[in-house]
């Protein structure tokens, strides 16, 4: 069963829709009422829900790296650059990640979608 994806406010509706059409369970921060959360709180929320956090936010990646360095557990983070993130390419890559990882392997995963 694919791991659920959690998206922050920077991720476009087109990517979310494409993932949902592919059968991926996606929860947006807007839907979850966390739209104004800090990066730290968003990562904590995704971890609490057992979902991989998908973002275009460089600062969120910095927070994930900081946590890796200090050994603080968090669920996975997937990053792609906002300007160079074709919808279908992102959806394909995220689907592959979501379907190939199980929830036991989420901790500390930091994946970059190339452009």
List pLDDT tens digits, range 53-107: 999 999 999 999 999 999 999 999 999 987 777 888 899 999 999 999 887 787 8
Per-domain residue ranges of the chain: 5-112
Phi/psi for 7 (5° steps) reads -115, 145
Residue 46 near residue 3 (C-beta atoms within 8 A): no
Contacts of 18 (CB under 8 A, 6+ apart): 87, 88, 90, 91
Number of neighbouring beta carbons within 10 Å of residue 66: 13
DSSP state of 105: G
Percent of the chain at pLDDT exceeding 70: 99
Q: What is the pTM of this model?
A: 0.92
The string of DSSP codes covering 65-93 is HHHHHHT-----EEE--STT--HHHHHHH
Mean pLDDT of the chain: 92
């Amino acid at each position: 069963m694919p791991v659920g994806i959690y998206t922050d406010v920077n991720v476009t509706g087109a990517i979310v829709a494409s993932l949902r059409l592919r059968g991926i369970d996606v929860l947006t921060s807007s839907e979850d009422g966390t739209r104004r959360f800090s990066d730290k709180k968003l990562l904590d929320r995704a971890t609490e829900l057992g979902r991989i956090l998908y973002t275009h936010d460089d600062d969120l990646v910095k927070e994930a790296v900081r946590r890796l360095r200090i050994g603080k557990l968090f669920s996975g983070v997937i990053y792609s650059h906002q300007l160079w993130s074709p919808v279908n390419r992102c959806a394909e890559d995220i689907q592959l990640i979501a379907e190939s990882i199980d929830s036991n392997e989420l901790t500390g995963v930091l994946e970059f979608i190339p452009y």
